[in-house]
């Protein structure tokens, strides 16, 4: 049985993962209509991954005799200045999610809920993978700068890239 503090904290994380999914969907839409089909494919895939992160938490809460709760979400940003702007914001967002997962993990330690702490290890690893992929992408983008051919290749590359640890 989950204690209330943990249940509430996981429900907050469910909201953040759901928002991440919508944010990346919004970015994918922008990329698709602004000539970055590869980045769009990458971000549609990331959006699905975030939905999976959300669902994993939903099932965990329910399986531990809690009740997952959904909350109102803010509207994600629809317009971006450039592909670099998109991925800078992905990076900022993932750093925010990493901090949030770490905070949640800290609560499980305070509450001596080692089962939930153990469950969260997967998310901790996932954040390492995601941040490292996003930083690689950002490095590539800043390297090519305004070069159109270089940007075309990065977009192509993004089509087949994934940012996630293997699912357990
Ligand atoms: Fe589910 Fe990318 O954090």
Q: How far apart are the C-alpha atoms of 46 and 147, rounded to whole Å?
A: 26
Confidence (pLDDT) at 69: 97
Number of structural domains in the chain: 1
Please tell me the pTM assigned to this model: 0.95
Write the residue with the smallest CA distance to atom 2 of ligand 1.
94
Low-confidence ranges of the chain (pLDDT < 50): 168
Confidence (pLDDT) at 163: 77
> What are 51-72's pLDDT values in tens digits?
999 999 999 999 999 999 999 9
State if residue 57 touches ligand 1 by the CB under 6 angstroms criterion: no
* Tokens 């939903």 sit on residue: 58
Confidence (pLDDT) at 146: 84
Confidence (pLDDT) at 162: 80
State if residue 18 touches ligand 1 by the CB under 6 angstroms criterion: no
| CATH classification at residue 108 | 1.20.1260.10
Confidence (pLDDT) at 89: 98
Confidence (pLDDT) at 9: 98
Domain extent for 106? 4-164
Nearest-atom number in ligand 1 for the CA of 46 is 2
SS3 per-residue string spanning 102-161 = HHHHHHHHHCCCHHHHHHHHHHHHHHHHHHHHHHHHHHHHHHHCCCHHHHHHHHHHHHHC
């Amino acid at each position: 049985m989950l204690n209330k503090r943990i249940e509430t904290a996981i429900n907050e994380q469910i909201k953040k993962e759901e928002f991440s999914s919508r944010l990346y969907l919004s970015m994918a839409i922008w990329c698709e209509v602004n000539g970055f089909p590869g980045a769009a494919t990458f971000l549609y895939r990331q959006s699905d991954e975030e939905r999976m992160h959300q669902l994993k938490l939903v099932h965990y809460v329910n399986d531990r005799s809690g009740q997952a709760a959904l909350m109102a979400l803010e509207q994600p940003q629809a317009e971006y200045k450039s592909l670099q702007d998109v991925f800078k914001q992905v990076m900022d967002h993932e750093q925010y999610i990493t901090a949030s997962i770490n905070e949640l993990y800290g609560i499980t330690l305070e509450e001596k809920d080692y089962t939930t702490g153990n469950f969260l290890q997967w998310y901790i690893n996932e954040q390492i993978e995601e941040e490292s992929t996003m930083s690689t992408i950002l490095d590539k983008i800043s390297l090519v700068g305004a070069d159109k051919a270089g940007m075309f290749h990065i977009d192509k590359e993004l089509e087949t890239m994934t940012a996630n640890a293997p699912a357990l």
